[in-house]
Structure 1
Amino acid sequence: MAGRKREGNRPDRRVWEAAATSLQQRRALLEKVRYVGSANHKLHPGDYGFTPSHNPRPTKSACDALRSILITEASQLFRDGILRGMVSRFEPGGLPKYVWAVDGDGEVYEAKAKPDQESDYHGYRIGEDEMAVRQYVLAEWKKR
């Protein structure tokens, strides 16, 4: 399932510099946000409890296109991304729009805040159609 091509040069889709947040601030951020997933990005609904069980859109990137990813793993990737500071810029007291993470196989994932519930995030794999973004996130991940 191929997702639609996203805009490649978006200033809000950049990892904030590592020193922008302290570990204490990132831990506080974890108390305000949660990973919930989205049926629009699932080929295999696993243990997410979506009703209906899943409904992937052909225009959306599937987070589980290569393998099934259960909610525990997705939540841990989300948490790891925040703890490493792999977040987009956000205002004091606000929340980042994006969080990035890399799994043990080197696959890059992007979590995005849900527009109607900014503290809830869903995620998807950044595929080969966005190689520049994948390489950028991998490089930042390795630095941190």
Structure 2
Amino acid sequence: MIPSLPSMRRKPSPRILQPRRSENEKRDLSPGMPSAAERAQLSGRATYGGYAKHKRDPYAWGLEPYRGRAPDRTFCEDTGFGIADQQRIPQLLRRGIDAGLFGDLVRQGDPTMLWTLDDDGWIYELRQTIPGRALYHGYPLLPTNALGRKVIARFENWYLSLSRAQRQPAMLAALRGAQERYR
């Protein structure tokens, strides 16, 4: 009698990423602009913490490597956002909060998602890392993502509602760059 050989399994083919153009019901802007009080309250508490999942070289950012499987993840470095840009993160986080770029879901008093526009037009999506502590981690939104147009529309409405004295050139550059990138 011939002993049977163990069955050999082949590694599955890598997932082919398709551009996301459909709306994801679990990920959307809040239906209305958050109040000035809500924005001020979150702005005073929100902080950013890096997440290795969205870094090509986590060690360079002071993070342990991501060990999970996430074939569709995006990397900050792919947008030109490097370690030296870390100092701008609090300002970018505040920009998104001031513009009312809140997600429609709330967990333990804070929106589960936020968005912001960088000066070069990249949109960054920020997810709640620790509910109730207003700690977020972020990653670039792909230019093919349909949600980008909604984020840009809300940002533009907010920008135009500001007085001329409040409108900063970097905000206009962010808006114009995003309109070009996320057509």
- Give the TM bin, normalised by the shorter chain: 0.7 to 0.9
Contact persistence 1:89–1:96 (CA under 8 A): yes
Cα distance in 1 between the residues matched to 2:111 and 2:21:
18
3-state SS in 1 of match to 2:124: strand
State the shift of 1:12 in Å.
4.2
Distance change (3 Å), C-alpha of 1:92 and 1:49: closer
Contact persistence 1:42–1:55 (CA under 8 A): no
- Which residue does the alignment assign to 1:26? 39
Cα distance in 1 between the residues matched to 2:38 and 2:128:
18
3-state SS in 2 of match to 1:109: strand
5+ residue gaps, structure 1: none
Q: 2:153 aligns with which of 126, 129, 139?
A: 139
Structure 1 residues 33-112: aligned runs within 5 Å: 33-45=46-58, 48-52=61-65, 58-69=71-82, 70-90=85-105, 94-112=109-127
- Which residue does the alignment assign to 2:29? 15
| C-alpha RMSD of matched pairs (Å) | 3.0
Cα distance in 1 between the residues matched to 2:58 and 2:157:
33
- TM-score, normalised on structure 1? 0.76
- TM-score, normalised on structure 2? 0.62
Distance change (3 Å), C-alpha of 1:91 and 1:50: closer
State the shift of 1:83 in Å.
1.6
Contact persistence 2:105–2:113 (CA under 8 A): no
State the shift of 1:68 in Å.
2.6
Higher helix share: 2
Q: How many residues align?
A: 137
3-state SS in 1 of match to 2:95: helix
State the shift of 1:102 in Å.
0.8
Cα distance in 2 between the residues matched to 1:79 and 1:3:
32
State the shift of 1:14 in Å.
2.1
Identify the structure with bigger relative contact order (alpha carbons < 8 Å, sequence gap 6+). 1
State the shift of 1:137 in Å.
1.2
State the shift of 1:110 in Å.
0.6
Distance change (3 Å), C-alpha of 1:136 and 1:75: same
State the shift of 1:35 in Å.
0.8
Contact persistence 2:106–2:112 (CA under 8 A): no
Contact persistence 1:44–1:68 (CA under 8 A): no
Which structure: larger Rg?
2
5+ residue gaps, structure 2: 1-15, 159-183
State the shift of 1:58 in Å.
4.1
Distance change (3 Å), C-alpha of 1:138 and 1:36: same
